[in-house]
Amino acid sequence: MKWIPYGRQELSDADVAAVVQVLESEFITQGPVSVAFESAVADYCNVPFSIAVNSATSALHIACLAMNIGPGDLVWTSPNTFVASANCARYCGAEVDFVDIDSQTYNLCAQALEQKLHKASRSGAPLPALVIVVHFAGQSCDMKAIHRLSQLYGFKIIEDASHAIGGSYLGKPVGQCEFSDACVFSFHPVKIITSGEGGMIMTASSELAERMRQYRSHGIVREPEYDQTGCLEQWAYQQISLGFNYRLTDIQAALGLSQLNRLNEFVEKRRVLAARYDQLLQGYGYVLPSQSNAARSAHHLYPILVPDEPQCRTVRNKLYRHLHEASIGVNVHYIPVHSQPYYRSLGFRWGDYPVAEAYYERTLTLPLFSSLCREDQDRVIESLQGFLHQRLAA
């Protein structure tokens, strides 16, 4: 039987032609196409600055550095995310803590954030310098409420929008940074659009943009005023900070730029498929994803929950195996980050974030990607229905 993955890229002849065109051109990296890709995504998001990098992980790392996150700082994020959302703070030597999720959207909960901030401030415990919110499954967090708290308690905000390019919040594109300091996208092939590997940081701050550009490329600038030897030659460059090589190649940028043409079409296809799951899985006892009124999702993931019962974890695992035996590549998003061995070694324990943990024990991500055809989606739906019949018969 044909294998149905949970997510995959959709490439066109135009995408291939765009990549070949770069391969046959003068610059396969550090050329005009990566700049064009940056401008095109910035235009799409209606934001002044964008920095293309080789992954969302790199994007998160240099966004933290540009905000001066370092040893002694505290960074809070969601436990229901990929490990990169927390690791970026650790790269900078900062401490990480988590804020439990909302039981409806599975996003970092603004009320839980408020309570945690209030408690920390009353007891004189350290407050976060930065909160990294994650737009889980493609749906924006409650940014207005989180932004209000940032003004009250004085922290910066990064949106990890790896799932959410093409989505919107209060009618504005995710990435516009109205309620954040920076917003990060991923172009890994399972995400909404792809460049193979790749990421981009959006920001409305020229200062942050400048710093991130430096960190992307070794901390090097070409500005004679930094040159203590007084060298004014064309070939001179000055390394003014400790940066990295996090550049995106023009080969990758060409693919990303070409894919961007179909971003709205991809999101629309995902929306229609998600609506079909909503309709056809109704009434089977699974909890289906809920949409907030403030956000329009990019529909990166379609997570369902098995019914809430004492053995739910076993049921979820059985359902996972049942679907895999039918060649359906369901997945689990996410194992709570704080429960990973690395984070346990830093002192976190199972039980620390009960909402994220209870969600994890019941969740399963169904296949959802723009090129998923109806017949394949029907196979997924029938397998989910068949599982319940098998359980009833047992």
Ligand X SMILES: *Cc1c(COP(=O)(O)O)cnc(C)c1O
Min dist. Cβ of residue 159 to ligand X (A) = 10
Min dist. Cβ of residue 121 to ligand X (A) = 28
Min dist. Cβ of residue 39 to ligand X (A) = 20
Sequence-separated contacts (24+) of 10-16 with Cβ below 8 Å: 10/262, 10/266, 10/369, 10/370, 10/371, 11/255, 12/258, 12/262, 14/258, 14/261, 15/255, 15/258, 15/259
Min dist. Cβ of residue 152 to ligand X (A) = 26
Min dist. Cβ of residue 161 to ligand X (A) = 8
Nearer to ligand X, 9 or 85 (CB): 85
Contacting positions for ligand X (CB under 6 A): 55-57, 81-82, 84-85, 134, 160, 162-163, 186, 188, 199
Nearer to ligand X, 163 or 362 (CB): 163
3-state secondary structure of 327: coil
**Of 10, 87, 5, residue with least CA distance to 262:** 10
Nearer to ligand X, 84 or 131 (CB): 84
DSSP 331: B
Residue pair 218/243 in contact by the 8 Å Cβ criterion: yes
Residue with tokens 């990064």: 158
DSSP 364: E
Nearer to ligand X, 107 or 150 (CB): 107
Nearer to ligand X, 81 or 249 (CB): 81
Question: Rounded distance, CA 376 to CA 149, Å?
Answer: 44
Nearer to ligand X, 81 or 203 (CB): 81
**β-pairing verdict for 95-98 and 156-160:** unpaired
Min dist. Cβ of residue 198 to ligand X (A) = 7
Which residues does 230 contact at the CB level (< 8 Å), separation at least 6?
A: none
Min dist. Cβ of residue 99 to ligand X (A) = 15
Nearer to ligand X, 79 or 379 (CB): 79
Nearer to ligand X, 187 or 348 (CB): 187
Nearer to ligand X, 163 or 296 (CB): 163
Min dist. Cβ of residue 276 to ligand X (A) = 23
Question: Rounded distance, CA 73 to CA 83, Å?
Answer: 19
The angle subtended at Cα 143 by Cα 142 and Cα 147, nearest 5°, is 130
Question: Rounded distance, CA 213 to CA 311, Å?
Answer: 50
Min dist. Cβ of residue 245 to ligand X (A) = 15
Min dist. Cβ of residue 60 to ligand X (A) = 7
Question: Rounded distance, CA 66 to CA 210, Å?
Answer: 9
As a dihedral over the C-alpha atoms of residue 195, residue 199, residue 202, residue 206, rounded to 10 degrees, the angle is -110
Question: Rounded distance, CA 51 to CA 214, Å?
Answer: 10
- What are residue 92's phi and psi, to 5 degrees? -90, 0
Residue pair 312/286 in contact by the 8 Å Cβ criterion: no
Question: Rounded distance, CA 154 to CA 82, Å?
Answer: 26
